Structure 1
């Protein structure tokens, strides 16, 4: 039996499911109206695939824009692949949902931000080593928050 409910993990799973549902709809129907997405992902993630020159230029994270020019959108339970154009040249990217750090649709001021373990280690206090009562260590806590859209505005 588990020691508790990991709401942070459940929330991340639900938010990634939301992204999957949105992308599946876009695959079937295209992007409606002015909708477009800024998607930041960890290029170091085991399942993230991109051309070598892209990974060299963006060794830690990359933000892609899904708007007018994209092809071959494929959505699975684990992530998605898409062909985007860089300087007019097509490049295929595979982005696992677990690699996504932010997902923003500025047309409707909607955004999701996923905290990573590195973010938690850098910004917050260290979790206690052991429960003061001598029990098991406290479970890790992962917060989900809405990202500010100011950094995406021109």
Structure 2
């Protein structure tokens, strides 16, 4: 190759196709967990744009996280569903002891992380989107905690201590660029 060789611009949207395929991996994991429960030590961090059209989260969370929020799907969630036809992921979670159902457009997902196996996926097209505010009705209260998804293989395990759900930023898990001289 010579120095005159330059990268050819693709007329095919490989970047978009790759992101769609990675998003499908995350949706399959969420769908599996919603149908069968979380296997073993798997759990998910799901990051999404709170300013995306069609999002439905409690107003106090929208005020606290006006652009992006991360939820943890581990012990205390219920009714996790993926509806590809309507383009939404729904999940019941408790925030400060108050149950709520979140409705998250699939296009609003910016990251998926399963720390048990260190699988992390980012969806840059959702990160780059600046959404226009849309009036969305307040989420419907979720069913009582008895409806939580229970792990299938947890018969011999001691019950986990219950506590308030925590929202954790994925920044703690992202690799930092190496610094010169470090």
Q: Which TM bucket (shorter chain)?
A: 0.7 to 0.9
Q: Which of the numbers 92, 98, 116 marks the counterpart of 1:83?
A: 92
Say whether residues 1:151 and 2:160 are aligned partners.
Answer: no
Residue 18 of structure 1 is matched in structure 2 by 25
Please give the secondary structure, in 2, of the residue aligned with 1:56: helix
Q: Which of the numbers 110, 116, 120 marks the counterpart of 1:111?
A: 120
Superposed, 1:5-154 pairs within 5 Å as 5-77=12-84, 78-116=87-125, 151-152=172-173
**Alignment TM-score, normalising by the size of structure 1:** 0.73
**Alignment TM-score, normalising by the size of structure 2:** 0.62
Q: Which runs of 4+ in 1 moved over 6 A?
A: none
Q: Greater helix share, 1 or 2? A: 1
Q: Greater strand share, 1 or 2? A: 1
Number of paired residues?
123
Bigger RCO (CA 8 Å, 6+ sep): 2
Maintained 8 Å contact 1:80/1:95: yes
Maintained 8 Å contact 2:113/2:121: yes
Structure 1 unaligned blocks of 5 or more:
121-148
Structure 2 unaligned blocks of 5 or more:
1-9, 130-169, 175-182
Maintained 8 Å contact 1:20/1:79: no
